[in-house]
Amino acid sequence: MLENNKQVILEAINLTKKYDDGVVALDNLNFQICNNEIFAMLGGNGAGKTTTINIFLNLLEPTSGDAKVCGVSSHIEPLTVKQNLAYVSENVMLYPNFTALQNLDFFTQLGGRLDVSKDEYREVLMRVGLAEQVHNKKLKSFSKGMRQKCGIAIAILKDTKAILFDEPTSGLDPKAGYEFIRLLNDLKDEGKAVLMSTHDIFRAKEAADTIAIMNEGKFLMKEKASTLFDKDLESLYMQYMAVHGLKPTTEGV
Amino acid sequence: MLKTLVEKEIREILSSTKFIYTFIVCLVLILLSFYSGAVNYKLNVTHWEAANAENLRSFEGIKEWYRVTENRIFLPPQPLATLVSGVSNDIGRTANIEPSGEIVADDSRYNEEPAYAYFRFIDLEFIFLVVLALFAIMLGYDAICGEKEKGPLKLCLSNAIPRTKFLLGKFIGSFAVLSVSLIVSIGLGSLLLPMLGVFLSSEEWLRLALIVLAGLLYFGLFLAMSIMVSSMAQRTATSFLILLIIWIGSTLILPRVAVLLSGRAVDVPTVDELGYQKAMYGTEQWKEFMNTLGNYEAIDNDNMEEVMANFNKFMDSISIAREDKMNLYRSRLNEQRYNAELERSQIAFALARISPSASLSLATSTLAGTSPNLKDKFYQQAKNYQTSLKEFLSGKTGMNVGGGMMIIELDDGSPEKDPIDPSEIPQFVYETESLSTSVKDTLPDFALLILFNCIFISGAFISFNRYDAR
Amino acid sequence: MLNILIQKELKSIIVSNKFIVTFVICSILLIMSVLIGINEYKQAVTQYETVHQMADERIQQVSSWHSVSYREHRKPSPLMIFTSGLSYDIGRWSDINSRSTVKLKNSIYSDDPIFAVFRIIDFTFIVQIIFSLLAILFTFDAVNGEKEQGTLRLIFSNAVPRTKYILAKCIGTWLGLLIPILIPILLSVLIVMLFQIQFSSQEWIRLAILIFISILYTSIFVVFGVFMSTMSRSSNVSFLLSLVFWITFVLILPRGGVMASGNIVSVPRIAEVEGLKVSYAKNKWEEYYKNMNDIFADSRNNNTEEDEDISDDMMWANMKAQDSLRKEVTRDIEGNEATLLEDWENKRKAQQHLGFMLSRISPAAVFQLAAMSLSYTDIDLKSSYESALRNYRIEFNKYIDKKSENAGPGAGSIMITMDSDKGMDLKVGRDNAIDVSDRPKFTHPKVQLGKILPDVLINISILLLMFTSLLGGAYYSFLKFDLR
């Protein structure tokens, strides 16, 4: 199946998560994400998208199965896994009393890169679309979109094989959304494996290589975006949801 | 990696308004406590000197040593007592020493000046106990759950750092900044002492340093506890509420309840009751004494001097016998009370030490020489002084002073005597407990403070490792 | 409209954690403090009765009028259950006799310093420290917290006037706090009733005023918290500000006021005054002895040549003369002492007055002063007892003087005569137990409510003034509050 230069970066094998209260968040989930690939998990609230990301980050332990990054299980060697992961949360919150540069500096060092110069920080900030005059502003004065860009800059600077995005486009204006997709494609071209969760059908279709529709911890559908190209993703989504008797929700949390 | 975390922590604290506010308030309060301590001490010294001078003056013009029947002694003010007042304002400081009989110290400062008893004093112990603990809580209550609420915690933990290291960075960073700023404040405060004319001996400096060390341990303990609670709670509001309850409980409630409980557990006779028992016994003895005296048969001798000498000898012997009996009775009662008191205070302090505030209070007051022992020590030394006064007066008059005696002054036309020199009367010198004893007494408290620190720090690590960071 | 807002305020408070926590803390603390207070009071009463009886027994054993001494004890006031005030700091008894002057000695704290280490916890302390802190916790985020939640904008998208909103905030939070503090207060009063502590009707009125002042005091902090929450946009900042102000006003300023007055008005210590007193007395006695010696020598010189027998009459006359001279000296010394003490007390009063004036910047100090004077455990406790005891002493001494004059010489004294012929003769007075049952009795001073009422009213009006100015402050600063 795999092409020669492709290798599996992110992998879920029979991933299952049951909470103490009996709720099944993930039910035997399987997927593989290779380098140069964007994988979008599409689903309503409580579908299990964030739980999947939390397991990769070892913020949760799977009940059974494995979440592997470059072949290493996240709950067995979390620190090795985290070296290969960057993470951008839905609502990026950084230290409000630090400037953008100070935040970048801290998180980059935390990510294990101690030798990054100020110019490089500025370069990355410019690349994600933050103008030079805000680089030395404190984070508490930043809007949501600006914080998002900072978060992406941190992920870029960490320079990992995989990036996890949790609802990256919620709350972004159309222009910022467009810029984000372009950035995502750049990252893909650099060889990264990207896992993103989203409610946004159109952005998912625009950017992703593989799209999975998720409900109650299961993939209802997993297809290459290219094969979906002609079909109407939205009607597919509604269709799958309707089959399972659930009202689809598309608003942000 | 750890360096990065510590650096970030320090930078974050320094850039927060919270820290700036608390630092300024702390600095002002600590300076205030040192300033008022110094001023208070100097005032106390002036008053003490005046009282001593007045006492000495009262002996002026006396020509016969047997007229000197008592001397007043005053507990001298200690510079550290104004920084950690302990019980120094509660116990009597003035005692009338007669060559025999019981010693009772009067004039506790709060009895004498009840205005001060309304709100008490701002001293270093109070600042440590109340203000610093509150500030430690304020600086630590959101250490973990605040990062979660604000958001960066998840991002931090998406990096390859072990949680222990993350928490360690937090601990090191916050301890370093806060202890440095505290030490700077206290250092500035202690500079005020010599500037205001209060000079401490090197031993006292050492004691002060230990007091500060106890304060730092206490502060660290509250900081560690705050971080621990913040790594158990999901929300900052919950964390603060829990910490506030702990603070109220440990600082305001537990120690008091412990002492009151111990008061119930051990029955200590009150001073008043003992006083009456002694007085009743004294009356009995006096009657017996008078009876014996009434049965005295004077020797048949023409020489008046010999008759007198014989009588005085008799009188001496029975009054010594009476005094001995009284002393025995008194010391028996006192010992009973002392033992009961000791038992009570052991129970009270053992119970109270569940709360680290009690450990801090006891450690600092012991180091400053103002622990409840101060009363016993003062009485003990006053008793020693009584013995030396008695010896001195006996030497001067050649009589058994304090007992019964007959003195007949015969104006035999001998030249006027010169007045006595009051400065010959032995001086009362209060000796503070030796540093090594104080340190030995405070060891359990220091050990407890360190233990509490360890418990809270390890508690923080354990709970943070299980912390739901989602 | 106002109703809806207040209801919403109350509802949101009642379901919150802090409401339950406050209720539990207040209940536990108040019930505990009252139980401790009742226990302490009962013990104090038992002890008072014991020592009082002992004092009576003791005085009956005395066999000579010259050595009659009585010890009068301070009677505990039942309101110390709520405000222990200075009752542990002030001496509990004074000796009443002709030799020493009135002075209250032996406070509980000086006898048992162990209790002084952590002090006593009582109702007033809990209200002063804990209630005020809880009030701030209730309200520090009243307005800016709603802004942070985002509900503020929504509320003001309706036709709600700002005045009504801020008023509803104050009333709502106040009512919300009133429930968890008033129920424990009433519970503690109920406990006092259950334990059958005897309160006079006046003491019930005092207690009612005390509870009123407690609520007024707590209300100040409720409004203060609301004020702070309108001053800053972030609840973190308002929380910090409130806490800093709380520490300053509740913990620091009361102490600071009294300490500052101690440095402004210099008053000598009692030890110093007593030193002066003793010096004066010693000098006077020295003079007296000298005179006596002269008289003695004179009489001896006169007697040697004439009748060698010193008749009892002569002796009696001599003693009388001696006695009157002695009394004169005593009067002189006491007169001097009275002036010294009066002078000292005036200075002391001036210092106290200034100290209390200064500390009244703080509502906590105002509250405590009012609570203590209502509970009769304030400074007046000492001065009123001392002046009552001084009057009693005069009466008592008169009685003793009269009795001893009637009893004549001899009883309980030693008489030694010396004669070159007969040698030495020693007569010890017989022990006739003396009857002191008709001695004057001491009536414990009671400060009437009417006497302290003006002072209490002043304190109440200061508290009211603070309350209204904070309310005004909250109102004006909310008018300028940025709702975005």
DSSP line for B424-453: GSPPP-PPPPPHHHHHHHHHHHHHHHHHHH
Give me the pLDDT at residue C411, please.
Answer: 47
Q: Are residues A170 and A151 in the same domain?
A: no
Query: Region B223-250: what's the mean pLDDT?
Result: 89
Instruction: Give the gap in angstroms from C-alpha B12 to the nearest C-alpha of chain A.
Output: 7
The nearest alpha carbon in chain C to B90 belongs to C110
Most A CBs within 10 Å, among B148, B155, B156, to test the A interface: B155
For residues A167 and A247, membership in a common domain is answered with yes
Cα separation of C92 and C386, whole Å?
11
Which residues in chain C touch residue B18, judged by CB atoms under 8 angstroms apart?
236, 240
- What pLDDT score was predicted for residue C464? 96
Residues A150 and A25 in one domain: no
Measured between CB atoms, does A111 come within 8 Å of chain B? yes
| Residue B77 contacts C where some CB pair is shorter than 8 Å | no
Q: How far apart are CA C118 and CA B352, in angstroms?
A: 10
Chain B interface mutation, best of C252, C273, C372, highest count of B Cβ atoms under 10 Å: C252
Residues of B in Cβ contact (< 8 Å) with C292: none
ipTM above 0.90, yes or no: no
Largest CA distance in chain A: 54
* A75 and A171 both lie in a single domain: yes
In which element (H, E) is residue B422 found?
Answer: none
Of A50, A60, A85, the CB nearest to B158: A85
List Cα–Cα distances, C336 to B67, B113, C172, C332, C339, in angstroms: 22, 22, 62, 6, 5
B34: closest CA of chain A, how far (Å): 34
Residue B463 C-alpha, separation from nearest chain A C-alpha, in angstroms: 14
Q: Which residues of B touch C365 (CB under 8 A)?
A: 118-119
Distance CA C23, CA A27 (A): 45
Cβ–Cβ below 8 Å for C86 and B117: yes
Q: Under an 8 A CB cutoff, do B375 and C113 touch?
A: yes
- Chain C contacts in chain B segment 243-282 (CB below 8 A): 244-245, 248, 252-253, 255-260, 262-264, 268, 270-273, 276, 279-280
B1 and chain A in contact, CB less than 8 A: yes
The tokens of B86 are what?
Answer: 């302990």
Q: Are residues A73 and A176 in the same domain?
A: yes
CB contact under 8 A, B15 and A92: no
pLDDT of residue A208: 85
- Specify whether A72 is located in the same domain as A49: yes
A 214-233 residues with CB < 8 A to B: none
Same domain, A154 and A247: no
| A183 and A65 assigned to the same domain | yes
Residue C450's Cβ-count burial label (10 Å; 0-12, 13-18, 19+) is: exposed
Shared domain for A102 and A63, answered yes or no, is no
Q: Choose among A57, A93, A106: nearest Cβ to B157.
A: A57
| CA proximity to A4, closest of A26, A36, A45 | A36
What confidence score (pLDDT) does residue C209 get? Answer: 95
> Is B32–C256 a contact, with Cβ atoms under 8 angstroms apart?
yes
Same domain, A221 and A190: yes
Residue ranges making up the domain that contains A35: 1-84+161-253
B310-357: pLDDT as tens digits: 887 888 788 888 888 888 898 898 888 889 888 988 898 888 899 999
Q: Is B294 on the interface with C (CB under 8 A)?
A: yes
* pLDDT digits 0-9 by tens, C187-228: 999 999 999 888 888 999 999 999 999 999 999 999 999 999
Give the pLDDT of chain C (484 residues) as one tens digit per residue: 778 888 888 888 888 888 888 888 889 889 989 998 998 899 889 889 988 888 888 887 777 777 788 888 998 889 999 998 888 888 888 988 887 788 888 888 888 888 888 787 889 999 998 899 989 988 888 888 888 877 787 778 777 788 888 888 889 989 988 988 999 999 999 999 999 888 888 999 999 999 999 999 999 999 999 999 998 888 888 888 898 899 889 988 888 888 888 888 888 877 778 888 878 887 888 788 777 777 767 766 665 544 545 556 666 677 777 777 887 888 888 888 888 888 888 888 888 889 888 999 999 999 999 999 999 888 888 888 988 998 999 898 888 888 877 765 544 456 666 665 655 666 665 556 677 888 888 888 888 888 889 999 999 999 999 999 999 999 999 988 887 7
Whose tokens are 């007892």? That residue is: C385
Q: What is the CATH number of the domain that holds A248?
A: 3.40.50.300
- The alpha-carbon gap from B452 to the nearest alpha carbon of chain A, in Å, equals 30
| A93 lies within 8 A of chain B by CB | yes
Calculate how close chain C gets to B344, using CA atoms only, in Å.
Answer: 9
Who among C258, C278, C418 is closest to B119 (CB)?
A: C258
pLDDT for position C299: 65
Number of domains in chain A: 2
Predicted pLDDT of residue B411: 52
HSE at residue A147, side-chain half, CA atoms within 13 A, is 22
Q: Which amino acid makes up residue B298? A: A
CA-to-CA dists, residue C43 to B395, B434, C76, angstroms = 48, 38, 10
pLDDT one-digit tens code per residue, B262-315: 888 888 888 888 888 888 888 888 888 888 877 777 777 777 777 777 887 888
pLDDT band for position B413 (cuts 50, 70, 90)? low
Mutate one of C95, C102, C118, C231 to test the B interface: name it (highest B CB count within 10 A): C118
Range of the domain at B208: 1-470
- pLDDT attached to residue C19: 86
B91 interfacial to chain C (CB closer than 8 Å): yes
The model's pLDDT over B3-56, given as tens digits with 9 standing for 90+, comes to 888 888 888 888 888 888 888 888 988 998 899 889 889 888 988 898 888 888
Q: Both A148 and A170 in a single domain?
A: no
Cβ atoms of A84 and A70 closer than 8 Å: yes
Regarding whether A138 and A199 lie in a shared domain, the answer is no
Q: Structural domain tally of chain B?
A: 1
Rounded CA separation B206/B367 (Å)? 10
A65 φ, ψ (degrees, to nearest 5): 85, -175
In this complex, do B155 and A59 lie within 8 Å of one another by their Cβ atoms?
no
Residue with tokens 């110390």: C80
Instruction: Identify the chains in contact with A, defined as 3+ C-beta pairs within 8 A.
Output: B
Q: What is the pLDDT of residue B402?
A: 53
Lowest mean pLDDT among A5-19, B123-137, C145-159, C401-415: C401-415
C411-437 tens-digit pLDDT: 445 666 666 565 566 666 555 667 788
Nearest to A228 by CA among A194, A202, A193: A202
